[in-house]
Amino acid sequence: MSAVDRGIVGARALTGRDPRTAAADRLAAELFDRAIVDAGLTTKDVAALLGVSVTVVYGMRSTEDRTRVSLTQLVRLPPAFHIALQHRLNAHFGFTRAALLELLEAAGSLAFLEAKGGA
């Protein structure tokens, strides 16, 4: 076992988390939590929709807990949640800005072609 592997195993033993995925786990919990709030859902609502206890949902929403929501559970949530989650993902990863830039470039190209053809 390499020194890196020993360090990862040691960190996992201390924290219960793989340090290579801890940042992604925290981000996932944060986005999930914010989407719940943005969708106007409560912890109790989510627990009922998922068929789990409120404590489990608190774990899913916590950046410090290791409880994670599954894809099967996600699809049980209402459309308002998915729209809110998509907005949060777009904002975090810059998808909205990238899509707008592509749209503006396409509009500029069309305007150029139209002006060139009309000349």
CATH number of the domain residue 61 falls in: 1.10.260
In a domain, residue 4? The reply is no
In a domain, residue 10? The reply is no
pLDDT at 11 over 80: no
Confidence of residue 35 (pLDDT cuts 50, 70, 90): very high
Q: What is the pTM (predicted TM-score) of this model?
A: 0.69
Of residues 96 and 32, more confidently modeled? 32
Number of domains in the chain: 1
In a domain, residue 6? The reply is no
In a domain, residue 44? The reply is yes
In a domain, residue 11? The reply is no
At 44 the three-state DSSP class reads helix
Distance, in Å, from the CA atom of 44 to the CA atom of 57, rounded to the nearest integer, reads: 8
In a domain, residue 28? The reply is yes
Q: Which amino acid is at 22?
A: A
Mean pLDDT of all residues in 19-46: 93
Task: Give backbone dihedrals phi and psi of 34, rounded to 5 degrees, phi first.
Answer: -65, -35
Joined together, the tokens standing for residue 39 give: 């969708």
The residue count of the chain comes to: 119
